[in-house]
Amino acid sequence: MRTYEELKQLLTQVKDNDYKIPDGVNLDDLIADMLKFIGHTDYELRDALIYSTFCTWVDNNVISTEQMRHMLITCLGEDYLFFGIGERDTDSVFTRSFSSLVIALAFCVQDETPFLTEADILNIKDALIRYIGLERDYRGYIVGKGWAHAVAHIADALANTAGADKIPEGKYVANREVYLEFLGAVKLLVCNKDMVYVAEEDERLTGVVFASLSNEVLATHDVMDWLKSFEVGSYDWKTAVLPDDYNIRVNKKHFMRSLYFGMLSCKDDEFDEVSVREVCEYMKSILVDSD
C-alpha cells in the first residue's frame, strides 16, 4: 500500500499525463490505495486527485464493471458509507460523503454497460436510505479541508439510483412503492432541524425528485400527496420549538422554491403520468401562503 505522499505524487503524475496510468502501475492496486485515502482531509488529494481521477476514468471507460462492482461494495460498507456514522463535526464525514460520490459514479458505468441487477439496485437504495436516517453531520464547506457536503453527495447517489433504467436483462423500472421511498428520503433530508442548509443542498435534492419521476411510474396524485405532507404553510410561532422548528421551516421553503423553479423549466408533458402545470400551481400556492 502506498503512503499518502506516494499516492499524491503518483496521482499528480497521472493527472498531468492526461489521466493515463504509468507503465508498471497495477490499476487494481492503485484503486485500492485511492479508496484507502478517499476520506483524507487534504482537499487536493481527496477531491482534486482521487475523486476527479475516478470521474475521468469512468468517462474514459478505464474502470471495468468488475472493478466498479468492487469499488461499490467497498463504499457501501461499514468502513466507508457508515464510517463514524452519527458523529458530528469530525473528519469521518469526508469518508462517508465521498463514498456517496463513488456510489453515484457506479451508475454512470451502469448507464453504459449494465452490470447491476434489480436486486443490486434495491439493496443500494436500502443502504442509502439507512445511511440518511443515521447521518448527523450536515456541514458544507469546511475551511482548510474543503467540501464535506454529505447531503449534496448523498442526493447525487440517490438521484442516480432512482434514475437507473438498465439492468443486464433489459430495462429496469421499480414499482411505485420504491419511488415513494426515494421521495420519502428526500423529505427526511429536507426536514432537518439541526441546521439550515446554506450550500445549495436544496437544489441537489430536487435531482432525486426528477429522477424518481423519469421512469413514469408515479402519478400526479402521488406527487401532490407527498408535497402536501410537508405542511409548508403550517407554522405556529406560539408553540414552535426554536430553533428546531424554524430550521425545518426554512429548509422546507428553500427546497420547495428550488423544486418549483425546476418544475417550471419542464414541459407539461415532461412526465407521462405527472401534470407539471398542476404540481407547479400547487407549489406556487403553498409558497405564497407560507410568506
pLDDT tens digits for 135-181?
A: 999 999 999 999 999 999 999 999 999 999 888 887 777 899 999 99
Give, as one character, the DSSP assignment of residue 22. Answer: P
Is 70 exceeded by the pLDDT of residue 291?
A: no
Compute the distance between CA of residue 196 and CA of residue 244 in angstroms, rounded to an integer. 10
Compute the distance between CA of residue 244 and CA of residue 68 in angstroms, rounded to an integer. 40
Give, as one character, the DSSP assignment of residue 231. Answer: -
Q: How high does pLDDT run on average in the chain?
A: 95
Residue-wise pLDDT for 72-97, tens only, equals 999 999 999 999 999 999 999 999 99
Residue-wise pLDDT for 250-285, tens only, equals 999 999 999 999 999 998 889 988 999 999 999 999
- Give the pLDDT of residue 157: 98
Q: Which residues of 199-222 are buried (b: 16+ CB within 10 A; e: fewer)?
A: bebbbbbbbbbbbbbbbebbbbeb
Compute the distance between CA of residue 121 and CA of residue 138 in angstroms, rounded to an integer. 26
Amino acid identity at 178: V
Q: What is the pTM of this model?
A: 0.95
Mean pLDDT of 191-201: 97
More confidently predicted of 174 and 117: 117
Among 225, 208, 129, residue whose Cα is nearest residue 164: 208
Element (DSSP H or E) covering residue 171:
strand 170-171
Residue-wise pLDDT for 28-78, tens only, equals 999 999 999 999 999 999 999 999 999 999 999 999 999 999 999 999 999
SS3 content of the chain, % helix, strand, coil (to 5): 60, 5, 35
